[in-house]
Amino acid sequence: MGVSKAAAAENRARVLDVAGRLFREKGFDGIGVSDLMKEAGLTHGGFYANFASKEDLAAQASALALRGGVAILERVANGAPDAPFAAVVEFYLTERHRARPGVGCPLAALSSDVARAGPALKSIFTVGLDEHVALLERIMPDHITVGRNEKATVAMTLMAGALAVSRSVDDETARSVLENAKTTVLALCCVDPNRRQ
């Protein structure tokens, strides 16, 4: 007896969610399909009914995770209407984000993996970066009228890079990396770090 369309869609969504988390935690090569399906509570056989390959799953899970990351930052910005840019920077560059790569930003967690991947994943991460940058540009303080896109691009890449590096060093150094990145990003976008916008 087959699985209903609704159940199949739910299973597929679960696999994408689990894959997005595990890829961010372990990297694309750090987990196999059978372990991933087991973590999702499904059999290995169900994988090929939904995905052409592990690379296909990586691409779809990454696209979903990147969109989810932008949505989270949008909510943070909307929750701080007087200082949305500072709120996003403060939210992103935290010990909590550092400690939870599986639910954190894919740009920070997977960029080194994607650098060694094919054009499909690079294209997805290019779109993801563009969407993150567009959000930062949109919520940047109004008095910045020149170079908004360039500053937003530098801000996003500095934040993702700082978060990635913070995960590769000891806790004390990580705190310094995150705090210095926060101050630098806010200063880049003319936000007083003491006033946070």
What single string gives the DSSP state of each residue in 61-82? HHHHHHHHHHHHHHHHHHT-TT
Indicate whether 83 belongs to any domain. Answer: yes
pLDDT digits (tens, 9 = 90+) for 80-136: 999 999 999 999 999 999 999 999 999 999 999 999 999 999 999 999 999 999 999
- Can you give the pLDDT at residue 166? 98
Indicate whether 29 belongs to any domain. Answer: no
- Structural domain count of the chain: 1
In whole numbers, what is the pLDDT of the chain averaged over residues? 92
How far apart (Å, rounded) are the C-alpha atoms in residues 67 and 6? 23
Indicate whether 70 belongs to any domain. Answer: yes
Indicate whether 136 belongs to any domain. Answer: yes
Domain assignment of residue 119, given as a range? 53-188
Indicate whether 11 belongs to any domain. Answer: no
> Whose structure tokens read 């992103």?
92
The beta strand positions in 77-146, using DSSP E, are none
pLDDT over 50 at 196, yes or no? no
| Burial class (CB within 10 angstroms; exposed 0-12, middle 13-18, buried 19+) of 24 | buried
- Can you give the pLDDT at residue 43? 81
Q: What separation, in Å, do the N-terminal and C-terminal C-alpha atoms of the chain show? A: 59
Residue 177 belongs to domain with CATH number:
1.10.357.10
Indicate whether 38 belongs to any domain. Answer: no
pLDDT over 90 at 145, yes or no? no
Indicate whether 105 belongs to any domain. Answer: yes
